[in-house]
């Protein structure tokens, strides 16, 4: 369990640049706000920080999922945001999940980068979207100042924003495990294609990944939630542009299969997908269509494990009860493209 002093030290270390320009009074307000905001719903499980999110009075939970979005409203990002607001209101959502690549093309340059507000605060303005946004990092985010995107200072600019490398959201009914997948991909270290990645806190990557997987495995084994979701940026299974991620299939998938995970959710491919795992009940859900999409960029579909693929913009909703999980994919106009239902009393089925 982290102490108040430990968190205070973390806040001070990650926010030195922002505080340099603050008055003494502003600094004190900033520190106080961060401590109150953080400790109000945050504690540690193993090495993964856990956020508690209370479900509705009837025990149900609903949320939206969007990925690969941060383009200052361009490439239909604003249109997707508008439809998210409408669906969010109808479903009375509890929060939003972002699957990464939050700010294009190269993440944030600092805590004061206007892209944060231009691509987030000023775009997702609907009343229903004024809930916590739980976000993971994508490969484009790693091309900027990662520590800036993780900084508590951004929560002062917009209190919805919660982004860590890996963490857990516990709603009693469901536990959602967020995994930092970018360091798994070897090519980012060996074939940078002219890009610079912010690998602070990641080196050596083998040690970083091993510790992350160990913590995830422990947390999953300890979980008593009815539904288990794992969220990452990169796909384990996809027929989109990037396709499967071999490193995740080798190292992450066996842990999910061994711990009865229900859903793996990701972005990275700019499309919407639903694929079943052939070796377990896991459902792979891709929601990476928050702005720029890749029309016609699809690999050959083989077998009956691919239930749905859409190469346009859109997002996804999740509604959970003790016995049912309802997943719906929407396009940029808010039209329903695909539904799938999972039951704890029945096998997974698709509509």
Please list the active-site residues: 242
Q: Are 48 and 166 spatial neighbours (Cβ–Cβ below 8 Å)?
A: yes
Tokens of 95: 């929060």
Q: Between vectors from CA 48 to CA 318 and to CA 276, what angle results, nearest 5°?
A: 40
User: Taking Cα atoms as reference points, which of 324, 94, 139, 350 lies closest to residue 232?
Assistant: 139
DSSP labels for 33-78?
Answer: HHHHHHHTTEEEETTEEEEE----TTS-EEEEEE-S--STTTTTHH
Q: How far is CA 86 from CA 124, 289, 312, in A?
A: 11, 17, 19
Q: Can you name the residues that pair with 287 across neighbouring β-strands?
A: 272
Tokens of 257: 């299969």
Residues in CB range of 324: below 8 A, 6 or more apart: 341, 342, 343, 344
Q: Can you name the residues that pair with 264 across neighbouring β-strands?
A: 230, 284
């Amino acid at each position: 369990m982290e102490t108040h002093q430990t968190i205070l030290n973390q806040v001070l270390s990650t926010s030195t640049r922002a505080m340099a320009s603050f008055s003494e009074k502003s600094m004190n307000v900033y520190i106080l706000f961060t401590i109150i905001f953080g400790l109000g719903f945050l504690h540690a499980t193993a090495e993964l920080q856990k956020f508690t999110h209370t479900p509705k009075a009837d025990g149900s939970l609903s949320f939206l999922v969007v990925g690969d979005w941060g383009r200052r409203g361009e490439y239909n990002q604003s249109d997707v945001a508008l439809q998210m607001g409408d669906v969010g209101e109808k479903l009375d959502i509890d929060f939003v999940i972002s699957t990464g690549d939050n700010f294009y093309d190269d993440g944030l340059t600092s805590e004061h980068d206007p892209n944060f507000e231009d691509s987030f605060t000023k775009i997702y303005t609907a009343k229903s979207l004024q809930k916590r946004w739980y976000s993971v990092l994508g490969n484009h985010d790693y091309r900027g100042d990662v520590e800036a995107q993780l900084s508590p200072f951004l929560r002062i600019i917009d209190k919805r924003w919660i982004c860590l490398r890996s963490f857990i959201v516990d709603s009693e009914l469901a536990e959602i495990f967020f995994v930092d997948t970018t360091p798994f991909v070897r090519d980012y270290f060996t074939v940078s294609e002219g890009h610079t990645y912010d690998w602070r806190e990641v080196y050596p990557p083998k040690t970083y990944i091993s510790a992350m997987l160990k913590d995830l495995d422990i947390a999953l084994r300890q979980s008593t939630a009815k539904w288990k979701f794992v969220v990452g940026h990169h796909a384990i299974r996809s027929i989109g542009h990037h396709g499967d991620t071999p490193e995740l299939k080798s190292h992450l998938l066996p842990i999910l299969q061994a711990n009865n995970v229900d859903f793996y959710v990701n972005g990275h491919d700019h499309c919407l997908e639903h694929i079943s795992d052939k070796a377990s009940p896991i459902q792979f859900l891709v929601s990476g269509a928050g702005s720029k999409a890749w029309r016609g960029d699809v690999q050959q579909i083989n077998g009956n494990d691919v239930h749905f693929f859409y190469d346009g913009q859109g997002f996804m909703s999740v509604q959970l009860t003790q016995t049912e999980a309802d997943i719906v994919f929407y396009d940029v106009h808010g039209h329903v493209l695909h539904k799938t239902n999972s039951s704890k009393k029945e096998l997974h089925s698709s509509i």
